[in-house]
């Protein structure tokens, strides 16, 4: 087998990675580290840059500006990796061929990491009377809306499951409390959180208990096991026909697999099934990681990153012509914004066929700094710099 820089590689193996989120960025970084210029990796994403999920709330509540949280993909300079900004229009998992608006790409190994798309139109009235805060565009657009809000009834609601970043709705309610208090509007406002779940974060009873206590302390109304089925002017309607009035509605839209993935024939019950230990799909040489899968972990970036580590090792073994015994352990860390500049942390493991187990660290300023380090370390690793350019 040939070598390059002392590393054996198979020069015929092309890896095409669809999606440059946590999973795609980590996977391509790992393969570049192992094979350098000996790799043949194409990373495709329709966006021009990466934004952490938690950064959207920072912009939305005026804690930072969009340019400070945008990390341009053009800055990715990694040996063996080529980034292509393009929209994927078709996927053939049998032939491992991808069609895009920048042309076709043939792969020896294909990785689908396209995440979950949002469908605000699936909830009647959400587009007309409410606001989605789960996409980069919609969260950024909410900043002037919040700045112009003069008080009233605020409803934060999840319209369906599963949904990305399970702590985010609770974080939004808590940060809304702080935001209104800082502007002197809390006394004339109500904040409610509506979720189709019995507790805010089912995998972590300790975190859920802490959040419920925080809601009670701040006067945030908690509505568990409720699903908003439609919005009318000034009111959200529950499945049983009852209503909750609002002046400002912040909704988590229905999530679905990207249309191009659904059209590929890879999905079962709406998501891509994979071997939960190896992230391999039923198609030879095709892997899927992150929110697009039904692997059984929360739809959150840190879990996509962990899955990418396993997929990268498996792919590296294919490139070398060997085998891999590395398996996905379902571990992940989630940070929870409690407001007042404090952050909590949940460390949880989702083992296949077992109930989740984990630990909970109470909110503190120290953990807020830890969250900042978490983000900074990923930007340094994936983009090769310490901060994002502003302006």
- How far apart CA 101 and CA 30 sit, in angstroms, is 27
Q: Do 20 and 100 belong together in one domain?
A: yes
- How far apart CA 349 and CA 352 sit, in angstroms, is 10
Taking Cα atoms as reference points, which of 159, 168, 78 lies closest to residue 122?
Answer: 159
In CATH, what number is assigned to the domain containing residue 234? Answer: 3.50.50.60
Torsion angle, alpha carbons of 209, 345, 50, 86, to 10: -60
Q: In angstroms, how far is CA 198 from the centroid of its own chain?
A: 22
Single out the residue in 209, 235, 255 at which a domain terminates: 255
* Contact indicator for 324, 316 with CB cutoff of 8 Å: yes
Query: Count of CB atoms within 10 A of residue 241's CB?
Result: 7
Q: Can you give the residue range of the structural domain that contains 138?
A: 119-255
What's the confidence (pLDDT) of residue 389?
43
Q: In total, how many domains does the chain have?
A: 2
What's the confidence (pLDDT) of residue 388?
47
What's the confidence (pLDDT) of residue 2?
52
Task: Give domain status of residue 331, yes or no.
Answer: no
Single out the residue in 270, 303, 320 at which a domain terminates: 320
Task: Give domain status of residue 383, yes or no.
Answer: no
Q: Do 10 and 51 belong together in one domain?
A: yes
Q: Residue 334 belongs to what H/E stretch? A: strand 331-339
| Chain length of the chain | 391
Q: Do 25 and 145 belong together in one domain?
A: no
Q: Do 108 and 126 belong together in one domain?
A: no
Q: Count Cβ atoms within 10 A of the Cβ of residue 181 and give its class: 0-12 exposed, 13-18 middle, 19 or more buried.
A: middle
What's the confidence (pLDDT) of residue 10?
54
Per-residue pLDDT in tens (0 to 9) along the chain, 391 residues: 555 445 455 556 899 999 999 999 999 999 999 999 999 999 999 999 999 999 999 999 999 999 999 999 998 889 999 999 999 999 999 999 999 999 999 999 999 999 999 999 999 999 999 999 999 999 999 999 999 999 999 999 999 989 998 899 999 999 999 999 999 999 999 999 999 999 999 889 999 999 999 999 999 999 999 999 999 999 999 999 999 999 999 999 999 999 999 999 999 999 999 999 999 999 999 999 999 999 988 899 999 999 999 999 999 999 999 999 999 999 999 999 999 899 999 998 888 777 888 889 999 999 999 999 999 999 999 998 776 444 3
Parallel, antiparallel or unpaired: strands 286-288 and 331-339: unpaired
Q: What is the pLDDT of residues 50-67, one digit of tens each?
A: 999 999 999 999 999 999
Task: Give domain status of residue 213, yes or no.
Answer: yes
Q: Do 148 and 225 belong together in one domain?
A: yes
Q: What is the pLDDT of residues 94-120, one digit of tens each?
A: 999 999 999 999 999 999 999 999 999
Task: Give domain status of residue 149, yes or no.
Answer: yes
What's the confidence (pLDDT) of residue 351?
80
What's the confidence (pLDDT) of residue 342?
95
Instruction: Indicate the pTM of the whole model.
Output: 0.92
What's the confidence (pLDDT) of residue 289?
97
Q: Do 110 and 210 belong together in one domain?
A: no
Taking Cα atoms as reference points, which of 364, 293, 368, 358 lies closest to residue 332?
Answer: 358
Task: Give domain status of residue 87, yes or no.
Answer: yes
Task: Give domain status of residue 62, yes or no.
Answer: yes
Q: Do 243 and 134 belong together in one domain?
A: yes
Q: Do 138 and 178 belong together in one domain?
A: yes
Which distant-in-sequence residues (6+ apart) come within 8 Å of 292 by Cβ? 19, 112, 113, 114, 115, 116, 257, 258, 261, 271, 272
3-class DSSP state of 328: coil
């Amino acid at each position: 087998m040939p070598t390059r820089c002392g590393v054996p590689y198979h020069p015929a193996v092309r890896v095409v990675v669809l999606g440059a989120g946590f999973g795609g960025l980590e996977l391509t970084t790992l393969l570049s580290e192992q094979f350098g210029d000996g790799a043949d990796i194409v990373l495709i994403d329709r966006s021009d840059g990466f934004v952490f999920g938690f950064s959207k709330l920072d912009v939305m509540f005026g804690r930072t500006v969009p340019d400070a949280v945008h990390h341009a993909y053009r800055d990715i300079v990694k040996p063996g990796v080529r980034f292509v900004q393009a929209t994927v229009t078709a996927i053939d998992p049998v032939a491992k061929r991808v069609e895009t608006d920048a042309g076709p790409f043939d792969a020896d190994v294909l990785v689908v990491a396209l995440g979950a798309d949002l469908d605000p139109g699936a909830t009647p009235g959400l587009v007309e009377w409410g606001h989605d805060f789960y996409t980069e565009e919609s969260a950024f657009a909410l900043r002037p809306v919040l700045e112009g809000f003069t008080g009233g009834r605020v409803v934060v609601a999840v319209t369906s499951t599963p949904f990305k970043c399970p702590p985010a709705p609770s974080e939004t309610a808590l940060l809304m409390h702080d935001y209104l208090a800082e502007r002197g509007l809390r006394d004339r406002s109500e904040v409610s959180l509506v979720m189709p779940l019995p507790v805010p974060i089912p995998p972590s009873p300790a975190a859920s208990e802490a959040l419920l206590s925080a809601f009670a302390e701040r006067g945030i109304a908690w509505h568990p096991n409720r699903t908003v089925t439609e919005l009318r002017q000034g009111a959200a309607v529950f499945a049983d026909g009852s209503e909750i009035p609002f002046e400002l509605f912040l909704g988590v839209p229905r999530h679905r697999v990207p249309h191009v993935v659904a059209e590929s024939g890879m999905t079962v019950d709406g998501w891509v099934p994979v071997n939960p230990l190896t992230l391999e799909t039923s198609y030879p040489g095709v892997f899927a990681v992150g929110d697009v899968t039904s692997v059984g972990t929360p739809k959150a970036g840190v879990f996509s990153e962990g899955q990418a580590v396993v997929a990268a090792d498996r792919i590296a073994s294919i490139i070398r012509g060997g085998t891999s015994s590395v398996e996905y352990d379902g571990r992940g860390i989630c940070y929870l914004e409690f407001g007042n500049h404090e952050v909590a942390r949940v460390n949880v493991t989702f083992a296949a066929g077992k109930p989740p187990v984990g630990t909970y660290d109470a909110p503190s300023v120290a953990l807020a700094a830890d969250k900042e380090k978490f983000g900074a370390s990923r930007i340094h690793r994936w983009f090769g710099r310490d901060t994002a350019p502003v302006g």
